[in-house]
Amino acid sequence: MEFDAIIQRIREEGSARTARCWLDQIEEEYGAVPLIFQRMSEKPEVLISHLLYKGSVTQLSTLEPKVVELISLAVGAALKCSHCVEYHMKAAQAKGATREEILEAVLIAGLLANAAVLADAYRVVNGAECDASCDLSGVPKQNDE
């Protein structure tokens, strides 16, 4: 459905009815409604604006839907959001992702999350904003044996 038609439908049905309809569609497609959507639905305009944004991003994407879900799964894993991981894992499976692809996405997420921790810490250790307590120049290096 085109954006203008969606907006017209929201105007005709109202925000509360539209939000309820969209939640029903999500539950039918994925088997459950994520908690964040349930809470957002308490203010239907918030849920609708979020789902419009989500829909626009995913519908305009040139990536295959399975890849979008695997990326979403990986980001959820990196952010340590178990609800996101579970939701996007089910969505990826529904779009044809294999167990191996899901595990690979999680491994890549872990790799990048670990790299981000290291990069941030190394910047602090080597950065100008760090005071003398971070200065490792006087710390003897350990030899590998």
Catalogue all structural domains in the chain, each as residue range(s) with its CATH number.
Answer: 1-60 (no CATH), 63-127 (1.20.1290.10)
Q: What is the pLDDT of residue 140?
A: 61
Both tokens assigned to 8: 């017209």
Q: What is the pLDDT of residue 136?
A: 61
CA 47 to CA 20: how far, in whole Å?
Answer: 10
DSSP 134: G
Residue count of the chain: 145
pTM of the full predicted structure? 0.74
Give me the tens of pLDDT residue by residue for the chain, a chain 145 residues long.
688 899 999 999 999 999 999 999 999 988 889 999 999 999 999 999 999 999 899 889 999 999 999 999 999 999 999 999 999 999 999 999 999 999 999 999 999 999 988 988 888 888 755 555 555 666 666 655 4
CA 51 to CA 46: how far, in whole Å?
Answer: 9
Q: What is the pLDDT of residue 2?
A: 86
**Could you give the dihedral angle defined by the CA atoms of residues 85, 86, 87 and 93, in that order, rounded to the nearest 10 degrees?**
100
